[in-house]
Amino acid sequence: MVRPPARTESGIPIEPVYGPQALADWDPAVKLGAPGDYPYTRGVHPTMYTGRPWTMRQYAGFGTATESNARYRALIEGGGTGLSVAFDLPTQMGHDSDAPLAHGEVGKVGVAVDSVEDMRLLFHGIPLDRVSTSMTINAPAALLLLMYQLVAEEEGITADRLTGTIQNDVLKEYIARGTYIFPPGPSLRLTADIFRYCRAEIPKWNTISISGYHMAEAGASPAQEIAFTLADAIAYVRTALAAGMPVDDFAPRLSFFFVARTTLLEEVAKFRAARRIWARVMREEFGARDPKSLMLRFHTQTAGVQLTAQQPELNLVRVAVQALAAVLGGTQSLHTNAFDEAIALPTEKSARLALRTQQVLAHETDVPHTADPFAGSYAVERMTDELEEAVLALMRRVEELGGAVAAIEAGFQKGEIERNAYRLAREQEAGERVVVGVNRFALAEEERYEPLRVDPAIEARQCQALARLRAERDGAAVAAALEGLRAAAADASANVLYPMKEALRARATVGEVCGALREVWGTHVPADAF
């Protein structure tokens, strides 16, 4: 039987052998350059990991702020160099823990944060001026950032010493994830306000982490992941420019968030192509001149969608391969998933093993000792070029539809991703795409695994804490602050983050602040909801 030719997940044929003919008419001076040089194909820093390794983040958060704080302390003590905070669904959707819509979801997929009181508990005893914190939060990103700043100020830490990232990428929520609140127009206005606020108040903070990860989890191919992420990034840049900000004032603080799959060669090529495309877009389309404006800096997370509940110990192998792909591709920070995440929230032991995976790569392999080890590889350079062509073709299609927002409203990106997800599912069902332990090499009987479970009483405790908060605070001050926020939201020339900060300082809750904005801006209803 003749095997069909192999293809990458983006549909690009993989040749059995690559030789010099794969790079005919290929000019290394144009395509490559040196690490740290435009167009940054080989990495954004000249030395890459030879000076110091990537930032090792572990995404964590569950239950109450106090429980998550204990996990963060354990990760830092275990050698983690950055925190990455997961928030529960009510927080992500701008609801308090005692809201009817929050019932059953409090503390389940992340930590519940209702007010600055919870934020204070979340980071108790953690030196915020010495730890870089990433917060996976989108529609209410401004609120969580401001609460973080308020807690730092209470500790005597000025905002210019804070470093970290808020995801703040609401456009991908309309495409792939669904935790949006406001319509696209007000959401983009809020993004621009965050850019301006951080430029003035928190200059070292990364104001957005434009995410392809969640698109990949929804079924996007590597080419789709990069194309739709960069198209969203272009929309954010245009929004900031329309708000009067010079490109080099905000572009150096843009960052990205991608997935790393087990298809190692294509993933390495994907990261290299993404850097090259973004550098050219920023220089040629937007006229950026600061080299930092041209650099695509990104965080990577190993692929949760590729983890299996069957034979979960195999996920240790998958995560190691995925992490290696991210490092070979030149990531700036990395989160490694725990092997048991397809079953439940990771246990402390499995989270520690995930961190140890990164530490083995950093300290026991020779990969970090040279920048871009695959440079000049016939296979990887050819894949990089082919992926670049596929990405640019998709980006042109988005532009033809009127840009990222118009394409979102037309359902283009969502439809393309869903078609690719269906194709991958069919290939897996037919056995053409092997998943070890699932459609091949399965066990007749799986071992019993005891997962970590979130205490359902957490919801009641959060509700009790909210009741105490509302009873003890100055209700008149909260009402006045929320009214100021509504007035700013109605004034297109105002920056809503300043009155928002005052409302949070007065101990307004996440639900109350988002509710005030909902009254002015409305909520988003997707076109396919009817």
Q: How many domains are contained in the chain?
A: 1
Q: Which two three-digit tokens encode residue 307? A: 């983890």
Angle, CA of 275, 44 and 253, to the nearest 5°: 85
CATH of the domain at 113: 3.20.20.240
CA 283 – CA 320 distance, rounded (Å): 35
7 inside domain: no
Using DSSP, state whether 256 is helix, strand or coil. strand
Neighbour-count burial of 416, counting CB atoms closer than 10 A to its CB (0-12 exposed, 13-18 middle, 19+ buried)? buried
Q: Give the helix ranges, DSSP H, for 401-457.
A: 404-409, 412-429
Name the one residue in this structure whose structure tokens are 């297109």.
492
CA 115 – CA 510 distance, rounded (Å): 6
- 205 in Cβ contact with 253 (< 8 Å): yes
Strands 333-335 and 55-60: parallel
> How are strands ordered across the β-sheet holding 55-60?
205-206, 164-166, 132-136, 82-86, 55-60, 333-335, 298-302, 254-260, 208-211
Give the domain range for residue 345.
20-429
How many angstroms separate the most distant Cα atoms in the chain?
78
- 343 in Cβ contact with 451 (< 8 Å): yes
> Which pLDDT score, from 0 to 100, does residue 530 have?
42
- 43 in Cβ contact with 91 (< 8 Å): no
Phi first, then psi: what are they for 110, rounded to 5°? 175, -175
141 inside domain: yes
CA 21 – CA 42 distance, rounded (Å): 22
Residues 6+ apart with CB under 8 A from 14: 5, 6, 7, 8, 265
CA 385 – CA 372 distance, rounded (Å): 16
Please provide the DSSP assignment of 128-166 as one string.
TTTSEEEEE--TTHHHHHHHHHHHHHHTT--GGG--EEE
111 inside domain: yes
> Which pLDDT score, from 0 to 100, does residue 528 have?
64
Q: Cβ–Cβ contacts within 10 Å for residue 456, how many?
A: 11
> Which pLDDT score, from 0 to 100, does residue 57 have?
81
372 inside domain: yes
pTM, two decimal places = 0.91
CA 208 – CA 373 distance, rounded (Å): 29
394 inside domain: yes
Q: Which regions of the chain are under pLDDT 50?
A: 1-2, 529-530
Q: Which of 73, 96, 21, 11 is nearest to 382 (CA)?
A: 21
440 inside domain: no
Q: What is the pLDDT of residues 322-350, one digit of tens each?
A: 999 999 999 999 999 999 999 987 888 99
Angle, CA of 408, 272 and 276, to the nearest 5°: 70
